Each structure stands twice: as C-alpha cells, then as structure tokens.
Amino acid sequence: MRPLVRPLLALAVGVLAARCREAPVTAPPPITTLPRQLSAAEQGLIARDNQFAFTLFGEIARQAGPDSNLFISPLSTAMALGMAYTGAAGATQTEMQQVLQLDGLTLDDVERSYRSLIALLRGLDPQVAFTLANSVWYDPDPRFAPTPDFLAATRTYFDARVESLDFRSPSAAPTINSWVSDQTGGKIPAIVPDPIGSDVVAYLIDAIYFKGSWTTQFDGSRTRPGPFRLANGTAVTVPMMTHGRTVRVGVARADGLIVFDLPYGGGAYSMTIALPQQASGIESLVQGLTGERWSAWIAGLDSGSFEVFLPKFTLTYGLTINAVLKALGMPSAFCESQRADFTRMNPSGALCITDVMHKAFVDVNEEGTEAAAATAVGIGVTSVPASIVVDRPFVFAIRERLSGTILFLGRVMNPAAS
C-alpha cells in the first residue's frame, strides 16, 4: 500500500502552551523518573526491541521506493511476533530469536519482561492517552487446536484477549476488525481481510494507540506555508508550524545530524527527530541507524533555546512485511518454506505464518500528535496438494513391501528418452 501523506515529513519541534486569561492552573509536575527501576531483563528486552526497530525500518526502507514516506510501529510488530515466538520451536524459533534480536534472553525473560513493560507503559503519563492491547483469535477448526500452554502464555504475559471464532462466518472479519478499530481510536479500521482466507486458522494481533499534547503547544495562528526540500533537490510547499519565539528543547549534534527531542504531556513521552544537514543525506541516515548510535544521540541531548519550525502532516501507511522478515533471516516461519515449526502452539507441526500485516497512522499538528498501529500475524495450516502431478524429474523404487527390500531404484530425467 502506498503511503498517503498531507503534506510531508521534516523536522523541528515546538510548542506554545495555551494561555488562559482566567485563574492560572497549576500544571502537574514533570515526569522525570519511572515509577520503578527496570530489571536487567527488561533493559535487555528494550535494547533488543530498539535494535529490531532500526533493522526492520532499514529493510522496509530498502525494499520501498526511495522517495516514499514510511511509518511503522516496531513495538506493535515485535509484540505480535513475540506472541508467535512463544509458540515456535526448533529452527523457526532460532530464526525468530535472531531476527527479533532476542539472543541472550531466555523465553521466560522475554515473556515476563513483556508482561511488566505492558503494565509499566499503560498509565505512565496521565496527560497522554496510551493503549496497548493484544488478542488471539482462533478458528475451532479440527486442523488447529492451540495448546493450553500457548493460550495461557498469551493471556498471562501479553495480557491478550483470547477468543474462539468461526472464521467461516461472515461476521468473523468484522468482529476482529472492530476490536482493532476500538483499540486504535478508529484510526486503524481494519487489519484482516474480509472474508478471511480459507488457509488461515488464527490471528495474533497487537494494537497500539497514542494521543499526546505537546508539553508546549505550537501557535496555530502562526502556521504558514513554507518550503520543504526533497532528496532530489526540488522543493514543495507545506504548512509549517512554529510558535514565534525560542523554546527550550533537547538537542544534540552528532554524525552530521541535528537531533531534537519534543516532549508530550508530563514528559514521559516525546518525539525525537534526527535531521541530516543535507536533504540527500536521508538515505544514509536511515540505513545507518543502529541501537548504539541512537543511544549515543539520546545520551547527548542537552537543553537549549531554539525557534523551531515543524511541518504539519498526516500519514497513513500499511504493508505486508513477509518479504522484509524473510530478508532479515526468518524464512522458515512462513508457509512457503514448508519448514515452519510452531509445535509449541500446536503439536501437529502443520502450522505456519501466512502473512504479517502492519498498518500505522500519525497526525502531527499544533496541539500534539495522534498515532495508532496494528500488526496481525496470520497463522495457517500447511497445505496438502489436492492432486499430484509428476511433471518433473523423479526417483522411483520397486520394492517388496513387507520386508522393505528395495528391488529396483531409478531416476527419470526424461520419460520420452529410451
């Protein structure tokens, strides 16, 4: 799906606090610390999720058009795939562990850390609306009976809604999509196809919604058309927000970039923007993103006073990330490989991932930012062909069945040749 954007992305930051002529209202104190200390496993999971974020984003950018806008929720993707990871085994589990950057963490570390991080993120800043929800929907198909352990893990560690649903019913897709829409404030109205494909027996879904006002809001009366330089050297005109004065923002200069940090609400959440010196430098910036570089930029942020200009924009983006995940190193999880191993989800060994679908939305305006995303991992049953056509070279044997003795063994490369 090609992104739809009004106008375009750029950089800056801002914020002019609304001023009332009435009695002053005491603002809540800024949030400067977490309510509790992170465990070593939680810190490890966050670092690995961030590295996965940059790796995933870089591969999506590499496969997308060079001039296309991108917007994803790596956390939503990691969470949905994390539920699938709890049901994986063998080589499939190993591949998913590597792609999700979970090396060095036990499955227990991953599950318990996700559970505690979900609880931590919810309600962290009362001035910011934040929803993170998971669900597991499965068809009571005789081909798929999820293990009690798998369902219990998704409930316990991902706080997932787990529900059996007849996928062949006309109401199945609307039911799932309605849940996604509810969890994302209507910004992601649908994530699964209607009707649901006959090969799909389950969906593992994560949905995220965020709405936060800038700690200091932009002045809507000062928004004016302004130029925005494209990577190819041309320019377009976009509505540019500002506040007409300098404001205190977190800023760092490193690797030929300016990095800005724009807080929301009480400061627990922020928008961090990395701006290359030249428009043509965006490709190297995206492809050079790593967890280490990002951590260094964040550590280098220092408060400064700047007049900031930021484009006002709305962006909707969606894609199926099968090819991205295969390129990153987990091809066996998908149905095409015929090698998927989700025996911890169902011992039959016949399950595989059909599609990993991702949709995201963001609206950045003078008041703040509204963003939502959903990721659906489709689980299917490995198909058995309805017919067998021997239309390529083959090996054959003539044997005695009861003893198993092979009498003749051959290879046919061209049946027309004598």
DSSP for 308-328, please give it: --EE-EEEEEEEE-HHHHHHH
Exposed/middle/buried for 12, CB within 10 Å: 0-12, 13-18, 19+?
A: buried
Q: Residues 405-414: what's their mean pLDDT?
A: 61
Residue bearing tokens 């991702």:
358
Q: What is the mean pLDDT of the chain?
A: 85
16 assigned to some structural domain: yes
User: E strands of 165-241, at which residues?
Assistant: 200-213, 224-229, 235-241
Give me the domain span that covers residue 172.
Answer: 4-214+312-381
Least Cα distance to 111 among 353, 268, 344 occurs for 344
Q: Identify the band that residue 391 occupies on the pLDDT scale cut at 50, 70 and 90.
A: low
332 assigned to some structural domain: yes
Q: What does the block give as tokens for 18?
A: 């609304």
235 assigned to some structural domain: no
pTM comes to 0.87
Contact present, 9 and 315 (Cβ < 8 Å): yes
pLDDT at 65 over 90: no
What phi and psi, each to the nearest 5 degrees, are found at residue 381?
-100, 130
Considering its fold, how many domains does the chain have in total? 1
> Which H or E run includes 369?
strand 368-381
> Which H or E run includes 408?
strand 405-412
158 assigned to some structural domain: yes
> Which H or E run includes 359?
strand 351-364
Higher pLDDT, 253 or 403: 253
Alpha carbons 303 and 306: distance in angstroms, whole number: 10
275 assigned to some structural domain: no
Q: What is the pLDDT at residue 400?
A: 47
- Per-residue pLDDT reduced to its tens digit, 10-22: 323 232 223 333 3
124 assigned to some structural domain: yes
Alpha carbons 351 and 390: distance in angstroms, whole number: 26
Alpha carbons 9 and 16: distance in angstroms, whole number: 20
199 assigned to some structural domain: yes
398 assigned to some structural domain: no
CATH classification at residue 317: 3.30.497.10
Exposed/middle/buried for 123, CB within 10 Å: 0-12, 13-18, 19+?
A: exposed
Q: Identify the band that residue 383 occupies on the pLDDT scale cut at 50, 70 and 90.
A: low
Instruction: Kindly list the distances between the CA atom of residue 223 and the CA atoms of 240, 251, 265, 311, in Å, as whole numbers in the listed order.
Output: 5, 23, 21, 9
Torsional sign, CA 70, 76, 79, 84: negative
Alpha carbons 356 and 374: distance in angstroms, whole number: 10
